Structure 1
């Protein structure tokens, strides 16, 4: 792996579980987003940063560059423990901004980054 830290964004960040895991192996969080006010307070206590609030209001082109996207998006619309309303549940439609971010921000100049991520995640 290169000496350069991989950058990630933390969407639907909750209290920061993905961030804690990724930072523990040397990745750098460059952006976070979480709508729940209680989670945002805990996230601030954990990382001294307040996440942006609503993924639907993100100016995607203003996001910092990143190599990895984490997203703990709501699973209730798709889960058998939920009502399985899928995209009829507004929480289910929150998956689409993730797709849009990936489509607009993916870095095509470095196609090997995915294999680097897989290799480092096995260590």
Structure 2
């Protein structure tokens, strides 16, 4: 889901506002999660079914650590954990633009439902 480029109604403006607020929270969470488990940032070279298990396991462990009140991993400005997107696209012959038009159409319809159902005052 993406924000609307030109929100026209109060509901669309509210949707955009909440989209931005939620996205900031999620991006911070992903940053903490990747610092706690650097393998998530560096990439997993496993079979897809095993990758999903590792991601779920790290999410469970992350939640356990948070429930126990452990500290968040510190931010080290010298530590760079980029996701290897170029390598993944080249290695897997994945075109990041495949079906972009279909995804945008699907997202637009889903976004319209959200705005109409949840952001109308």
- TM-score w.r.t. structure 1 length? 0.27
Which one scores higher on RCO, CA 8 angstroms, separation ≥ 6? 2
- Determine which structure has the larger strand proportion and give its number: 1
- Determine which structure has the larger helix proportion and give its number: 2
**Which structure has the greater CA radius of gyration?**
2
